[in-house]
Amino acid sequence: MGVNEDKVAGFFFINSNVHRSIYQKPEQLALQYPLKRSDYNFLDHDSFLCATQVLTLSKKFLCNSIMLGDTLVISNLRDDHVEEVLEMVRNSRVFSKIEKEQFFYE
Protein backbone atom coordinates (compact mmCIF):
# COMPACT_ATOMS: atom_id res chain seq x y z
CA MET A 1 0.00 0.00 0.00
CA GLY A 2 2.83 2.38 0.68
CA VAL A 3 6.57 2.87 0.55
CA ASN A 4 8.86 5.37 2.21
CA GLU A 5 12.65 5.76 2.16
CA ASP A 6 13.43 2.42 3.77
CA LYS A 7 10.16 0.60 4.48
CA VAL A 8 7.25 -1.03 2.71
CA ALA A 9 3.85 -0.89 4.40
CA GLY A 10 0.79 -2.93 3.78
CA PHE A 11 -2.12 -4.92 5.10
CA PHE A 12 -1.26 -8.59 4.93
CA PHE A 13 -4.36 -10.26 6.27
CA ILE A 14 -7.08 -11.61 4.03
CA ASN A 15 -9.93 -13.24 5.91
CA SER A 16 -12.77 -15.41 4.69
CA ASN A 17 -15.20 -13.51 6.90
CA VAL A 18 -15.19 -10.44 9.06
CA HIS A 19 -14.66 -11.56 12.65
CA ARG A 20 -17.82 -11.09 14.70
CA SER A 21 -16.03 -8.91 17.27
CA ILE A 22 -15.34 -6.33 14.53
CA TYR A 23 -19.06 -5.68 14.12
CA GLN A 24 -18.99 -3.94 17.50
CA LYS A 25 -16.17 -1.61 16.35
CA PRO A 26 -17.45 0.71 13.60
CA GLU A 27 -14.04 2.25 12.83
CA GLN A 28 -12.50 -1.19 12.27
CA LEU A 29 -15.56 -2.49 10.44
CA ALA A 30 -15.17 0.35 7.94
CA LEU A 31 -11.66 -0.98 7.17
CA GLN A 32 -12.79 -4.41 5.93
CA TYR A 33 -12.42 -4.27 2.17
CA PRO A 34 -14.32 -6.94 0.19
CA LEU A 35 -12.31 -8.95 -2.33
CA LYS A 36 -14.22 -10.92 -4.96
CA ARG A 37 -13.03 -14.33 -6.13
CA SER A 38 -13.92 -13.24 -9.67
CA ASP A 39 -11.29 -10.45 -9.41
CA TYR A 40 -8.51 -12.54 -7.84
CA ASN A 41 -7.81 -16.08 -8.98
CA PHE A 42 -5.68 -16.81 -5.90
CA LEU A 43 -8.81 -16.63 -3.71
CA ASP A 44 -10.90 -19.76 -3.15
CA HIS A 45 -13.95 -17.62 -2.34
CA ASP A 46 -15.00 -14.02 -1.73
CA SER A 47 -12.97 -12.63 1.17
CA PHE A 48 -12.01 -9.45 3.01
CA LEU A 49 -8.80 -7.47 3.24
CA CYS A 50 -8.45 -6.46 6.87
CA ALA A 51 -6.94 -2.98 6.78
CA THR A 52 -7.07 -2.29 10.51
CA GLN A 53 -3.35 -2.48 11.15
CA VAL A 54 -0.44 -1.38 9.02
CA LEU A 55 2.52 -3.73 9.01
CA THR A 56 5.92 -2.53 7.87
CA LEU A 57 8.98 -4.35 6.61
CA SER A 58 12.32 -2.95 5.63
CA LYS A 59 12.85 -2.87 1.86
CA LYS A 60 16.09 -4.81 2.30
CA PHE A 61 14.41 -7.56 4.32
CA LEU A 62 11.56 -7.89 1.82
CA CYS A 63 13.88 -8.01 -1.21
CA ASN A 64 16.08 -10.64 0.45
CA SER A 65 13.03 -12.68 1.44
CA ILE A 66 11.75 -12.65 -2.16
CA MET A 67 15.20 -13.53 -3.56
CA LEU A 68 15.55 -16.45 -1.12
CA GLY A 69 12.07 -17.73 -1.99
CA ASP A 70 10.75 -17.26 1.55
CA THR A 71 8.27 -14.70 0.27
CA LEU A 72 6.28 -15.18 -2.90
CA VAL A 73 4.46 -12.49 -4.81
CA ILE A 74 1.27 -14.20 -5.99
CA SER A 75 -0.68 -11.21 -7.23
CA ASN A 76 -1.32 -7.50 -6.91
CA LEU A 77 -4.51 -5.73 -6.01
CA ARG A 78 -6.19 -4.08 -8.96
CA ASP A 79 -5.25 -0.42 -9.23
CA ASP A 80 -8.81 0.74 -8.58
CA HIS A 81 -8.97 -1.44 -5.46
CA VAL A 82 -5.65 -0.06 -4.19
CA GLU A 83 -7.00 3.46 -4.61
CA GLU A 84 -10.23 2.57 -2.78
CA VAL A 85 -8.34 1.00 0.13
CA LEU A 86 -6.01 4.00 0.32
CA GLU A 87 -8.96 6.37 0.38
CA MET A 88 -10.61 4.26 3.09
CA VAL A 89 -7.44 4.42 5.21
CA ARG A 90 -6.87 8.14 4.62
CA ASN A 91 -10.36 8.85 5.97
CA SER A 92 -10.03 6.55 8.97
CA ARG A 93 -9.33 7.65 12.53
CA VAL A 94 -7.64 4.28 13.21
CA PHE A 95 -4.32 5.47 11.75
CA SER A 96 -2.26 8.38 12.98
CA LYS A 97 -1.50 11.43 10.87
CA ILE A 98 2.16 10.35 10.82
CA GLU A 99 1.31 6.86 9.50
CA LYS A 100 -0.94 8.34 6.85
CA GLU A 101 1.69 10.84 5.73
CA GLN A 102 4.47 8.23 5.69
CA PHE A 103 2.68 5.57 3.69
CA PHE A 104 -0.69 6.55 2.25
CA TYR A 105 -0.09 9.74 0.33
CA GLU A 106 2.09 10.01 -2.75
The pLDDT tens digits of the residues spanning 67-99 come to 999 988 888 899 999 999 999 999 999 988 988
pLDDT digits (tens, 9 = 90+) for 28-71: 999 999 999 999 999 999 999 999 888 888 999 999 999 999 98
How deeply is 16 buried, as exposed, middle or buried, from its count of CB atoms within 10 A (0-12, 13-18, 19+)?
exposed
How deeply is 87 buried, as exposed, middle or buried, from its count of CB atoms within 10 A (0-12, 13-18, 19+)?
exposed
Q: 32 and 21 in contact (C-beta within 8 Å)?
A: no
Which residue in 51, 41, 48 sits closest to 15, CA to CA? 48
